[in-house]
Chains A and B, each alone.
Chain A
Amino acid sequence: MPKRILMTAQLDVIHKSLAKMTALISKSLNNMIIALKEQDLLLADEVIEGDEQIDAMELKIEKDCILILARHQPIASDLRDVTSVFRVISDLERIGDQCADICEYIKLISQEEYVKPLVDIPQMAIECEKMINMAIRSFISKDLELAKEVLMMDNTIDDYFENIREELIEIMSKKPETVRQCTYLILIVKYLEKIADHATNISGWLIYNITGTH
């Protein structure tokens, strides 16, 4: 079936683009974490500008997917593959946006000393980064076990979120002058939590891709 071989090759190209998009997001997350830790304005700006590249990547992959649908009319698992790529890139794009948003907040508090040394927030962000990597790896290599691991990791992120939120609320109630910064930090943590949710979604798409059920 030469037609299907051609389509498989094109799906491969899409997977490659997906990897590139993930790498870009990984880089954004990475720079975002450093910017947060070191209060680096320039790096935060870099992340915000880098979001355009991610958006362009999303459009490119979307176009490729539509071309496959139009040219090859894939069926069954191939169809699920293409449609789940659609969903995954929109999740990835959202992650990119959230990274940029976090960087906006980092910029807002970059000139002041943190209320406490940041340990848990960067750690949580690193975990998020790991989750996204694992989710995409599981998606591309169709590794169901890895996808389930990602779903499990979401609980850890939720724990992080709760702990950090409570801690920040406590700091706020003790030192009212830190309310502004703490609020921003809580927003950042909330964004991180959303990023982890998107990673979970991606793994969900893989499970749909393989099993056909949600």
Chain B
Amino acid sequence: MAWGIKLRKTLIRSTIISLSILVIISGIFSYIRIKNTLIAETYADIEESLDGYIYMLENDTQSDLKQSCIDFGIYTGTRLTIIDAETGEVLGDSYNDIEAMDNHLYREEVSAAIRTGEGSSLRYSKTEKVDFVYYAKPLLYNGRQLVIRASTPLYTVKETYNSITSSMIIAILLSAVIAFFISYRYNRKVIQPIESITEFARSISKGDFGKSVYISSYDEVTKLSKALNKLSKSLKKSFDKVSTKNAQLEAILQSLSQGILVCDIEGKVQYTNDMFLNILKTETPLVNKNIYHNVFDENIYAILEELKNIKEDKLIIKSNVHFSDDTFRNYSGCFIKDKFDVKKGILLVVDDVTNIQKLERMRSVFVSNVTHELKTPITCISGYAQTLLNGALEDKENAARFINIINDESERLNLLIDDILTLSGLESTKVHVFEGKVDLTKTAQDVIELIKQKYPDKKDVNFNLEYDKNESYVMSGDSNKLKQVLINLVDNSAKHTESGSITIGLNKNENNLNLSVADTGIGIEKVHHSRIFERFYRVDKHRSRETGGTGLGLSIVKHIVLLHNGKISIDSEPGKGTRIDISFPI
């Protein structure tokens, strides 16, 4: 990790710098100390030699100054110089040739010796490239005022300086090694654990919960890692809880029969369930899109606008909105608020209430139909009865006709009530397994005979029964009810077929027993097909009442077929005929 490297670098650098400063400071201090001691010692040394030489000169006034200076200088290892205190001329030197030497009168130590009787100095000698210490004292020799100077180069000081410098360099190098070592240890003990903890924290933030990190390091770091492990575990726990809840919620929302939409006040969609898209007939998912850009539904807009303008909590409802494809929807919308009562968005619920609306309509239509259908014969009966009461009874011929009509009408009334009762009986019966066996071939033959007798004047119509003689068409069912199915269908066909044929077809396959009734009659327009099985639905309102139908026949057929777990369908074309197909499962 970048910051790890950086930390390590900083660590190494600061260790090296601080150690180096320490080494340099201690080096400088010890150098100064040693130098001062050495210089003091050297002064003492050369003073001793000087004193010795002066003592010798005082006792032996006859010797040659120049020679004794050289001799004594070599003997003591100290450079001795004899200078004339008045002229500054060098009279003797144990080291250099006196002829080449310049005037020494104004040398610091010489002038100090003349003035105070003693002088010393420390100077760098350009010729020898080393520091020299000088010590000078005046001497009256044979009446001549001389200054005797002793000096020695500070080679030892230079050596000490060099050795201290080199050991300091070694110490600094050593400190670098120590710094590396410390940083290595520190790296292993602190940086690496911190790095792995960082990596761990990063993985948590990415949503990878439940993992643990194990660190053995300093207490603080271990504590941190333990705290993080705990955090990770509790995060995983709560995250699991939340995701389970989410999954439950999602399942609940998706299984609702209502469409749910959650969006913000500007219409940006946050959630929809599939039902919402289904009901609104949009294929594209709306999440993260703006509802205003994708769904042009005035009702939704109206709810959003209304919610925008109100302050208080309110459920806004638009019910039974009628759509051109004959569907009905209920819309409702309200605010979603969090526990601090802050508006977090808008919840829209759309409910497809087409079926409820259809049932509602069917019921009211049914009631009005029943009343109408019952009313017609009753009006007729009461009308003729009144006519009879008002004197028509005397008119034998008409009276008989009227009474016949009354009889017919009451017969129709009876039929109608029977049908209604049958139908309501069928509706309240549940699908169940029938115990009895019905031979459809025989039933069909019976029905054909029955219808032939009912319509003796239909000479031009051929009644056929088509089936495979090798097969048996026996199914479990209610024989009376199945017979009713065939009677109603064949009767319908007979009513609407002037000439041609009516065919009952039977066939069988692995799963189904199929029954069909086909005629070559007037046929039915396609628009009526979907509603033909509804109660009291009439294709041609005038015609069918003339032929004495109740409008319930096909509805009864459908209910009986459903009771036997079967399916029914119609195929018809005006002018060509009608075919009803029924299939029962075996």
Nearest A residue to B294, CB-CB: A137
- Nearest chain A residue, comparing its CB with the CB of B322: A34
Is the C-beta of A19 less than 8 angstroms from some C-beta in chain B? yes
Assembled-state Cα–Cα distance A30/B323 (Å):
6
How far apart sit A24 and B299, CA to CA, in the bound complex (Å)?
9
Contact B292 A141 (CB under 8 A): no
In the bound assembly, the distance between CA atoms of A136 and B325 in angstroms comes to: 21
A136 touches B324 (CB 8 A): no
Take A117-B527, A119-B527 as given contacts and tell me if A26 and B298 are in contact as well, using a CB distance cutoff of 8 Å.
yes
Shortest beta-carbon distance, A25 to chain B, in Å?
8
Q: Is A180 an interface residue (CB 8 A)?
A: no
B residues 295-321 in Cβ contact with A at 8 Å: 296-298, 300-301
In the bound complex, what is the Cα–Cα distance between A25 and B324 (angstroms)? 13
Q: How far is the CB of A89 from chain B (nearest CB, A)?
A: 14
Q: Within 8 Å of chain B (Cβ to Cβ): is A195?
A: no
Check B293 against A23 for contact (C-beta < 8 Å): no
Identify which of A34, A126, A141 contacts B293 (C-beta below 8 A): A141
Interface residues contributed by chain B, number (CB under 8 Å): 18
Please provide the chain A residues from 132 to 155 with a CB less than 8 Å away from any CB of chain B in the complex.
133, 136-137, 140-141
Interface: A129 (CB within 8 A) = yes
Cα(A52)–Cα(B316), bound, Å: 25
From known contacts A15-B293, A19-B292, infer whether A34 and B301 are also in contact, taking CB-CB under 8 Å: no
- Chain B residue nearest to A117 in the complex (CB): B527
Q: Are B325 and A137 neighbours in the complex by a CB distance under 8 Å?
A: no
Within 8 A of B (CB), among A1-31: 15-16, 19-20, 22-24, 26-27, 29-31
State whether A24 touches B293 (Cβ < 8 A). no
CB <8 Å contact, B527 and A33: no
Nearest chain A residue, comparing its CB with the CB of B297: A23
What chain A residues lie within 8 Å of B300 (beta carbons)? 23
B324/A129 in contact, CB under 8 A: yes
In the complex, what's the smallest C-beta–C-beta distance from B17 to chain A, in angstroms?
A: 51
A36 and chain B: residue at smallest CB distance: B324
Name the residue among B292, B293, B296, B326 with the largest chain A CB count within 10 angstroms: B296
**Quick one: which of B293, B297, B326 contacts A140, CB cutoff 8 A?**
B293
20 pairs from A and B in contact (CB 8 Å cutoff)? A15-B293, A19-B292, A19-B301, A20-B298, A23-B296, A23-B301, A24-B298, A27-B298, A29-B324, A33-B324, A34-B323, A34-B324, A37-B326, A119-B526, A125-B324, A126-B325, A137-B294, A140-B292, A140-B293, A141-B293
**The 5 nearest A-B residue pairs measured at CB:** A33-B324, A23-B298, A117-B527, A27-B298, A22-B296
Known pairs A20-B298, A27-B298 / 18 extra A-B pairs, C-beta < 8 Å: A15-B293, A16-B292, A19-B296, A19-B301, A23-B296, A23-B297, A23-B298, A26-B296, A30-B323, A30-B324, A33-B324, A34-B322, A119-B527, A136-B296, A137-B293, A137-B296, A140-B293, A141-B293
- Which residues of A are in contact with B by a Cβ distance under 8 Å? 15-16, 19-20, 22-24, 26-27, 29-31, 33-34, 37, 117, 119, 122, 125-126, 129, 133, 136-137, 140-141
